[in-house]
Chain A
Amino acid sequence: MSSLIAAAELPDVGPATGVADLAWLLVALPAISAVVLLLAGRRANTWGHILGVLSVVATFVIGLVIFLQTAGLDAAARTRELSVYNWFSVAGLHVDFGLRLDPLSLTFVLLITGVGSLIHIYSVGYMAPVHGAGHGEDDDAAEPSDPSARRRFFAQLNLFVAAMLVLVLGNNFVMLYLGWEGVGLASYLLIGFYQDRPSAATAAKKAFLMNRVGDVGLALAIFILWTQLGTLQYTQVFANVGKIDPPALVAITVLLLLGACGKSGQFPLQAWLPDAMEGPTPVSALIHAATMVTAGVYLIGRTHALYDLTDTGRLVVAIIGTITLLIGAIIGCAYDDIKKVLAYSTVSQIGYMFLAVGLGPFGYALGIAHLLSHGFFKAGLFLGAGSVMHAMNDNVDMRRYGGLWRVMPITFVTFALGYLALIGFPFLSGYFTKDAIIEAAFSAPGWQGWTFGLLATLAAGLTAFYMTRLVLMTFFGEQRWKNLKSADGHAYHPHEAPASMTVPMIILAIGSVGAGFVLTQGHLLATWLTPSLGELAEQEGPVPAAVVSTLVLVVSAIGVLVAYLLVGRRPTPVERPQHVSFPVRAARRDLYANAINEALIATPGTWLSRFLVYFDNRGVDGAVNGTAALLGGSSGRLRRLQTGFVRSYALSMLGGAVLVVAALLAVRFV
């Protein structure tokens, strides 16, 4: 397969003018708010959350104004830059704190600040002080809630928004890296938000470390780009991609993919994302479903000029995406923890997006479209799950739920719409965006089309199964919680959430229903993104689109039916069945991903560290003796250089020095 397009048409890049001059406020507002909330201390406890919400809403408004202004320009003039200041420069290297305003970045700005605003509003209720501490059933004792918790939460959530905006708005690879690790920090802090829980601290550390593995890939890709082109500025890099050596180009794309895998929880770096559910649920919705974890897809879309030129690089992306979408869908079928099922669903859906962008010019826009519609329905599903947990004393075990649709109807309806959107129910979001990816996959050349297409279809069936199972166990059937008590001995009294929580859920549900249709009508999104991603290349595959669409519908319907027969028609045991088949056992253990990491890296690393500590302590005498021997040898050689006069002088100084040592040692600190 030759490269699909020889050289992408690059848009002219002009300076940002008009309201776009204010783009720096997009980063500054949430950042300043975060700093104020952290520094103001306890006295900000009463108003901290209000500032936190207002700063993000204001950011959304500014983003919207810039978006509208940009949309009013000619397509060719929609890519603009704003250099805020020179960050650092040494010799030929110039790195600006610079922003790139183009359709791709502005689309992300709206997603991040729009969904971000809704989730900030939701968090006002969710993180209200009663709820703030003593979270989770495995707390050994209920503790008095920390009045500062909500303020700290909003500070960290604002920090996340600022960093995520740097990530998508940066106009060079160092800005990207700044945002990349910045969201990693915010994610670390928020996963570990309930610091009392050792499991939360461990999950946070695991997330940061696995992300750093990816970051090494991103860093090395940047170093190779610098070596090849002598610049890290997007416009200059994209204009000169043709000058990169082909092997270096493959290396760059694979290393960028490694970075993307770390941030987006893709194989082989997927194991941190389910553990990240230790964080508060709004965090799971915003960071670990709608925005941060999709940064990998953004990265590949942003650097498409590089991927356009390497079939190998793109193929690796598509393969990784396909493996991951299967892994996520398989494991999602086995969990009883509502948040973990949704987390593996996220892993799987991002796998679809990776598959899409791995397909090249006819997939980039499809990946972004699914990313946006997924942002709506998955954020909505997580907020719904949070509402359920809120009602169920923070219990996450679906086996304790059941029949909840009667007691929390708004949550049920909004959740159900998100569910239907995710499984691709006709004319809801997923139907347009996910099916389009599967159709595109079939049209990949040769064996790739059949492999990617059939596996993606299979995973769609699994998706329908695990999501139906989740909905049935949670909202239908017997109300199992009636006869149970939570870990701290209270009976369950489920209730509908307050309006601050339900309104964001309703808005996201509307998005789940309509986003897919709106975005794909007349290639609206693809046309808008053309200046950033290149022309959408439509490719007719061997299988007609209508056939693929029907196939996916049938497979999904089978998934729903199987779930109904297995879960809906039988009572759900409150205790988890232990005698299950091997595939279920494997899925419950995350397909052994953690065991493999443990056996290959953690355990050998621990032993190596212990051995080295022993070696270093024992090696002291050896090192001293070794250097002493070196001294004898080298001074003998040096003697040749020295005249008799200097030698005697040196010897006298040596003698003097020895005397000084002897004197100092004799004093013995008296």
Chain B
Amino acid sequence: MNGGNLILIALILLPLVGSLVIYPLHANPSTAKLAAMGFALAELVLTVVVWLQYSIPAAAGGTRFQLQFAIDWIPAFGTRLAFGIDGIALVLIALTAVLVPVLLLFSWEEKLPEGRSHAGYFALLLATQATLMGVFTATDVFLFYVLFEAMLIPMYFLIGRFGGPRRQYAAVKFFLYSLFGGLIMLASVIGLFVVSGEQLGAGTFTWADLQRMAASVPESTQIWLFLGFFVAFAIKAPLVPFHTWLPDAGAEAPIGAGVILVGVLDKVGTFGFLRYCLPLFPLASRDLAPLVLTLAVIGVLYGALLAVGQADMKRFVSYTSVAHFGFIALGIFSFSSQAFAGSALYMVNHGLSTGMLFIMVGTLITRGGSRLIRDYGGVHKIAPLLAGLFLVAGLSSLALPGTNSFVSEFLVLLGSFPREPVYTILATIGIIFAALYVLWVYQQTMQGPLRGAAVLGALERGGGPGTMLDPVVAAARPGSGFRDLTKIEIGALTPLVVLIVVLGFFPGPVLDVITPSVVATMNEVGLPDPVGGLVP
């Protein structure tokens, strides 16, 4: 088959073209910013069209992918430029498309390192979006690998050129970790090609063909191939002990890059587990599940305890992500429809809530000029909206019922319990720690009397000498250094808050898209649901 529906190609090319168009506009950053926003909004509209064109499969079976497009690429290796989406890919594409305009708005006024232009910054953000769209839509394993690696390049430059004081160190660390994982995956990709040659007569990289042969691949072979993919995805996700690049990258990344990093780019790892590890290596996935579950539960507890101990707010957000990825991995390797659906939904919800938390931390840092938690205190008095929305993001992060994250975390734990009670009990204890780290940081930074060098310093700068003695007066005076959220910022956060609440009470539209794909994944793994419904 050559050709097909071009809309996914447009989805990838639109931000790529946008990136190339605005990159040269160094001299005119405001035009560049507006153009970037235009492209991001167009991409959002295009995503809505894709969502509308996607039709929810009635039952399991039938074609896994929709809106497909394929042309031959390197016929000698049987690799094709093949694209298509299932429900899980679709919701992650939607997440990306929603987050990018928001993060562009929050990067609008961001102070960049000396000599850097917003044109380059926004161009790289759009380029990252293009590679993400490619990663989620690829249905050829080799193409996926290439895009997986390509994703590194814009992110490497985003951190390395536009980040904080230790940006070079963080960028190189991020790059080496990811590249290392990618190379191991490459070995497995090639191995898969060889095995497919033995099994099918001719080597192929086509996902659907590889999945069809999965059951007949010997178990030992599966295990080695699985590990190659697994290490790459575990680094990306990240799972403990492959996580140590994330706190540095998250801390040094500028706001926009950080949001896309913890909000979407991480999800490629867990997306990979669901799309590649489980369907292509079902026996290995089942054999090695105890190993992964152990790492997942360690991640839940270890990430949370580390989050509590952080002094740096951005590192704090990174470690909360480590804990959340533990939950997602727990759901994926517990093999039930509820847990799978919970994990897929968790990816979306985590992107929204942690993305928003990162934004809130970023706005706080922009105002106070310090990343340290102890430099803030009592912010609710001078910036009540900022404090309130910080709390909303935090409550979503601790999976309070009524917010989006509750449904996904509940599904993960409920679905994991029948097969893996011990791991699930340990992970459930993690919800206490989640409350602890969120409320602890909220209390330190937002509640109590005004305090902290960043807050008082900003007030003094903004309000002139002497105002430090009377912060309330300084706060009331326009032009004081620590302002509450601006109207534009409120507008940019509104879609996130609305999604957090609406998906908490009405997750149906997203779950309905996800469910047929996770049911298909259950079939590919070859296990029945441990609990099918009301016992007879």
Contact = CB atoms under 8 A, between A and B. Distances in A.
Interface in B163-208: 168, 171-172, 175-177, 179-180, 182-184, 186-188, 190-191, 193-195
Interface stretch (A400-408, A423-431, A465-473, A648-656): A648-656
Contacts of A197: 448
A646 B302 CA distance: 40
A581 to B, nearest CB: 37
B306 interface: yes
27 contacts: A90-B338, A90-B342, A90-B415, A92-B337, A177-B410, A181-B401, A181-B406, A188-B439, A195-B380, A195-B446, A195-B448, A205-B440, A216-B429, A220-B417, A226-B417, A612-B302, A613-B310, A626-B241, A627-B242, A634-B184, A634-B227, A638-B187, A638-B224, A641-B191, A641-B224, A650-B187, A668-B168
B520 to A, nearest CB: 12
B436 interface: yes
B531 A92 contact: yes
Contacts of A185: 395, 400, 402
Nearest to A189: B391
Main secondary structure of the interface of B (DSSP, over half): helix
Given A196-B448, A223-B414, A657-B183, A208 B431 contact: no
Nearest to B163: A669
A198 interface: yes
Interface in A219-240: 219-220, 222-224, 226-231, 236, 240
A609 B305 contact: yes
A634 B228 contact: yes
Interface stretch (A13-21, A356-364, A388-396, A615-623): A615-623
B428 A230 contact: no
A47 interface: no
B376 interface: no
Interface of A: 86-93, 97, 140, 143-144, 174, 177-178, 180-182, 185, 188, 192, 195-198, 201-202, 204-205, 208-209, 212-213, 215-216, 219-220, 222-224, 226-231, 236, 240, 243, 605, 608-610, 612-613, 616, 619-620, 623-624, 626-628, 630-631, 634-635, 637-638, 641-643, 646, 649-650, 653-654, 657, 661, 664-665, 668-669
A226 B428 contact: no
Contacts of A628: 180
Interface centre among A224, A229, A631, A669 (most CB of B within 10 A): A669
B26 interface: no
Given A92-B337, A195-B380, 9 more contacts: A87-B505, A88-B508, A91-B337, A93-B411, A185-B400, A195-B446, A613-B310, A646-B190, A650-B190
Contact of B418 (A89, A188, A227, A649): A227
A646 B193 contact: yes
Main secondary structure of the interface of A (DSSP, over half): helix
Contacts of A616: 244, 306
Interface stretch (B15-23, B33-41, B62-70, B153-161): B153-161
Contacts of A88: 407, 411, 507-508, 511
B401 A182 contact: yes
A251 B188 CA distance: 45
B449 interface: yes
Contacts of B172: 665
Given A230-B532, A610-B309, A181 B400 contact: yes
A665 B338 CA distance: 44
Contacts, number: 220
B447 A669 contact: no
Given A140-B449, A646-B194, A89 B511 contact: yes
B431 A219 contact: yes
Given A609-B309, A642-B191, A91 B414 contact: no
A608 B304 CA distance: 12
B231 interface: yes
A612 B305 contact: yes
A26 to B, nearest CB: 16
B432 A91 contact: no
B519 A222 contact: no
Nearest to B440: A205
A634 B156 CA distance: 27
Contacts of B447: 192, 195, 198, 201
Nearest to B77: A649
B367 interface: no
Interface centre among B186, B395, B407, B432 (most CB of A within 10 A): B432
Nearest to B381: A196
Contacts of B149: 657
B532 A91 contact: yes
Contact of A216 (B400, B410, B431): B431
A201 B168 contact: no
Contact of A661 (B160, B175, B443, B505): B175
A664 B175 contact: yes
B534 interface: yes
Contacts of B401: 177-178, 180-182
B42 interface: no
A219 B421 CA distance: 12
Interface in B214-256: 221, 224-225, 227-228, 231, 241-242, 244
A433 to B, nearest CB: 33
A142 to B, nearest CB: 12
A612 B306 contact: yes
A669 to B, nearest CB: 5
A236 B515 contact: no
Contacts of B524: none
The 9 A-B pairs at the shortest CB distance, nearest first, are namely: A92-B533, A91-B337, A223-B417, A609-B309, A201-B447, A613-B309, A178-B401, A227-B418, A90-B341
